[in-house]
Amino acid sequence: MKAQAFSFEIKDLMIQFVAAFDNVIIKRYNDQRQAMEKIQVRYVYAPKQRVLYDIVNRSQNITLPVVAVSIGGVSRDNNRVFNKLSGFYFNRTQNEDQRGFTSAFYGSPVPVNIDVNMSIIAKYQSDMDQILSNFVPYNDPYIIISWKVPDTVDLAIDQEIRSEVLWNGNVSMTYPTDINASEKYRITADTSFTIKGWLFKDLRNNTAENIYFVDSNFYTSSDISLLQTLSG
């Protein structure tokens, strides 16, 4: 356990997740439903409780609407364990005609489910509706994010990984029911996603010489019968 098998997999997946939902623009409408103003929705990596604390205590730093994203947990996905093979060897060179290169052992990565919590905090119902309309129609029931096998694996050619992001299909809404004069009206919506990711093993000191020639003798079926007759 002294080997550090760390390749930023979870961080890279979260960056891809936020990038898939970021750059949301909502509009403020007048009574005739004409757009009067455009607002960029802020995305922050923090639990909802932390964002609400900052709104109350540092209102000058947090403006609504805001979307808070945080990891809820990581678990092994038994449904994606296809076999018990520990891995396989791959050539470190891109050119199959080259000789004298070693192959590295590619340890089978561990399939993990990354549970992601998303909380939307808005001042107006129209803002909330627009944010929901921005991602709900496209997560029916999932989206795909693309990333590559980590550089620490040291593949000769970059390999793409496509991970499903499954939406749980539910959005719970919370409205303020008992507020005083000093508190601002806020609407919150909570939902969650599951990213089908992978965690890679450490690959150090797992190399082997390539095999290019195999000495063997081949016989046709008639020759085998003749050899059996002669030996008998």
**Pairing mode, if any, of strands 172-174 and 110-122?**
unpaired
What are 78's two structure tokens?
């038994």
d(CA 166, CA 116): 10
Q: 227 pLDDT exceeds 90?
A: no
pLDDT at 113: 98
For 33, the token pair is 């439903």
pTM: 0.77
Question: Average pLDDT of 49-68?
Answer: 72
For the chain, domain boundaries? 9-231
Closest CA to 104 of 200, 197, 30, 31: 200
Q: Is the pLDDT of residue 102 over 70?
A: no
Q: Over the stretch 167-184, which tens digit does the pLDDT of each residue have?
A: 999 999 999 877 666 667
**What pLDDT digit, counting tens, does each position of 6-31 carry?**
889 999 999 999 999 888 889 999 88
- DSSP calls for 140-184: SSEEEEEEE--GGG--SS--EEEEEEEE-S--EEE--SS--TTSP
- Report for 47-61, 175-189, 201-215: range of highest mean pLDDT: 175-189
Q: What is the pLDDT of residue 64?
A: 85
**How confident is the model over 111-168, as pLDDT tens digits?**
999 999 999 999 899 999 999 999 899 998 899 999 998 887 777 778 899 999 999 9
- Amino acid 199: pLDDT: 92
Looking at residue 76, its pLDDT comes to: 95
Tokens of 181: 């004069």
CATH topology of domain 9-231: STM4215-like (3.30.2000)
pLDDT at 87: 72
Residue 219: predicted pLDDT:
62
- So what's the pLDDT on residue 56? 60
Contact indicator for 128, 41 with CB cutoff of 8 Å: no
| Mean pLDDT to the nearest integer, 78-105 | 68
Q: Measure the CA dihedral 215/221/226/227, to 10°.
A: 30
Model confidence band, residue 222 (pLDDT cutoffs 50, 70, 90): low
Q: Residue 95: pLDDT above 90?
A: no
Q: What is the dihedral of CA 43, 47, 50, 56, to 10 degrees?
A: 60
pLDDT of residue 141: 87
For residue 138, give Cα distances in angstroms to 10, 117, 125, 132, 192.
23, 18, 21, 10, 15
127/41 Cα distance (integer angstroms): 9
What distance in Å separates the CA atoms of residue 68 and residue 87, rounded to the nearest whole number?
Answer: 38
